[in-house]
Amino acid sequence: MMNGDKLIVIDYKTRGYPLKENTPGYYQNQMDIYNFLLRKNDWKTEDYAYLIFYHPLKVREQGDVVFNVDLVRMEISIENAMLIFTTALDLLEGEMPEPAEDCEYCKWVDKCNSEMKPKPTVEMKRDREGEMEGDREREIKASRGLRTRQIKLNDEQDGDGF
């Protein structure tokens, strides 16, 4: 959805039961990251987003399902998304943690270390000033003769969080 020249992110959710009071909070990171990624790709977004929840009220004899719809407006935080993103990068660039004795997933640690170590789909590098930029993005822009836009984590530029 658009508001002037800005996108408003909307995410549709289906459930089997009505919303609980704290349900929208479980989607905060997701909505923050959607907005962060759109802005990183040069889209303007509003500082809010919507979740639209559908849950069935009844099924008619003909098989039609009647749904209840709840619209929830959420304020978004680009700063939160940037923190999540940089934390994920740090984890991916770090060493595999030692297995915990009581962890049901740690029985896979040897396999993970040898074969399945996660690799980011977009290689990211940070220089000593804290800037980050995708390698693939840089390659594409360089091949087109364009200068690559630097995204600073600490300073806001152009009033859009970058």
The pLDDT tens digits along the chain (162 residues) read 999 999 999 999 999 999 999 999 999 999 999 999 999 999 999 999 999 999 999 999 999 999 999 999 999 999 999 999 999 999 899 987 777 777 777 766 666 666 555 555 444 544 434 445 555 555 555 554 443 344 444 444 444 443
Spatial distance between the Cα atoms of 156 and 59, rounded to a whole number of angstroms: 51
**Between vectors from CA 158 to CA 153 and to CA 162, what angle results, nearest 5°?**
15
Spatial distance between the Cα atoms of 69 and 66, rounded to a whole number of angstroms: 10
15 and 69 share one domain: yes
Number of domains in the chain: 2
100 and 128 share one domain: yes
34: domain range?
1-94
Of 60, 78, 94, which residue sits at a domain end?
Answer: 94
108 and 76 share one domain: no
58 and 82 share one domain: yes
Of 94, 121, 138, which residue sits at a domain end?
Answer: 94
90 and 100 share one domain: no
1 and 65 share one domain: yes
57: CB partners within 8 A, 6+ apart = 66, 67, 68
7 and 72 share one domain: yes
Of 94, 113, 136, which residue sits at a domain end?
Answer: 94
**The residue to which tokens 């804290």 are assigned:** 130
82 and 108 share one domain: no
Check if the beta carbon of residue 27 is closer than 8 Å to that of residue 11.
yes
126 and 59 share one domain: no
2 and 74 share one domain: yes
- Beta pairing, strands 65-75 & 124-126: unpaired
74 and 35 share one domain: yes
Whole-model pTM: value is: 0.61
133 and 149 share one domain: yes
